[in-house]
Amino acid sequence: MKKLKDYPEGVALRLLALRDHSRHELRQKIIAKNFTPAEVDAVLEHLAGKGFLDDARYARKMVAHLGKDRMLGPQRIVQKLIQKGIPRDLVDEAVAEGERDFPAAERVKKLLSKKLKNQTPAELSPAEINKLGRFLYQRGFSWEDMHEIFHRVGGFTQE
């Protein structure tokens, strides 16, 4: 008697029960279980038709998680969604929606308040300002997102 894991749909449903997946990553995981691409594509179409698989919904959830919980900037969020195989038009739409809900400037302010603790921005040395800028840049914030903050502390540099 075959078990649920012996069918591509069973594998897909089990994975989706654990968490949302993008179509691309779900496809890769099911193909890794030795099912044919044609079988997998048929199952993914069926699941998408039933609303179990939706890249737009997945992108919106990921933008909210990466922006609000992980405090990443727009550039890093775009990078992560593209790595998950989300089409660029859906990525741009979800990121724009996420920016309306929780703008990058607010995330920068929140991160700065955590990083600075009891220090005021005026107390930072140029080296500390540069270090803070690199930290924010690595998290996916553009120099434009940080410009006002760095301008206020007198340490904005064109790098």
User: What is the rounded distance in angstroms from the CA atom of residue 93 to the CA atom of residue 97?
Assistant: 6
Per-residue confidence (pLDDT) for residue 150, from 0 to 100: 65
Question: Nearest 5°: CA angle at 104, between 141 and 20?
Answer: 90
pTM for the whole structure: 0.85
- Among residues of the chain, what percentage have pLDDT more than 90? 67
Query: Does the pLDDT value for residue 56 go beyond 50?
Result: yes
Amino acid at 110: K
Which residues lie below 8 Å from residue 25, measured CB to CB, with a gap of 6+?
84, 85
Query: Does the pLDDT value for residue 132 go beyond 60?
Result: yes
Query: Does the pLDDT value for residue 157 go beyond 70?
Result: no
Q: Count the neighbouring beta carbons within 10 Å of the beta carbon of residue 61.
A: 14
